[in-house]
Amino acid sequence: MAKLFGAIPSSVTESGVFRALKQLEQHRTPVRLEVENTNISFYTVISLHPKAVILNKPSDLAPKALRRGRVVRFEVPDGSKNVVRLNVRRTHLRRQRGDEVFVCAMPQEFSGKSRRGAARFNTSQFNNLHLVVPQADARFRIIDISRTGCKTFVGDFDEWDLIRTGVEMRFTKLAVGDKVEIALDGLVPRLIKVPTVSFQWKVLQHSYSGRYLDHFIDNLQKKELDRLRIKEGQELEE
């Protein structure tokens, strides 16, 4: 790998982003990576090589999820809110023992601070997760969820006079199948971009709804972490 990428420039080794990446590598800290302009996210761990960042990827990741030139990003999990954006250079390499990885260019600096309050999880694979909005007599399929809100697929809904950006709605619920409902203490449409609508909600933290929502999000996070299988001390194969 050293011959492939060459020596690390001193300007990179001294940068704040390199020091942060080095800490993540040394402690094998998983980070939650998002592929920009998609709903794809997964946990990964980082290895550093001269001029390059090597990232593990889940074995079940769709082959077309990563392309050369695509940008991936993550928030450094140290409370700083610093965001690292990485440009994909090679979409697939395999370690000798079977781990699949991909290669990104070494970033020169952080890409600002994250303004996101909570991690989002892709739920498009679930057909039974809905946002129930009685005022509009609607059930919207949830395709992206966090502790503070969701993105929904609205399909052929056309009663837009009943849903207005910034106007709070009451008596709304999160439905998981036909048997579980999580009452929301308030729901506000934040972005209407048909065929999707993004909502922010209020849920009392220590209420039944708050506890169930936390449990649901924790399970989504655990499933993503379980997709990451790491084997130590492996060389890369071309």
Task: Using pLDDT thresholds of 50, 70 and 90, give the confidence band for residue 6.
Answer: very low
List pLDDT tens digits, range 100-157: 899 999 999 999 988 777 788 889 888 999 999 999 999 999 999 999 999 999 988 8
- Give the pLDDT score at 230: 54
pLDDT for residue 233 is more than 80: no
Domains delineated in the chain: 2-115 (2.30.110.10), 121-222 (2.40.10.220)
Rounded distance between C-alpha atoms, residue 104 and residue 129, angstroms: 35
Which candidate, 48, 50, 47, places its Cα nearest to that of 10? 50
DSSP, res 169 = B
- Give the pLDDT score at 10: 46
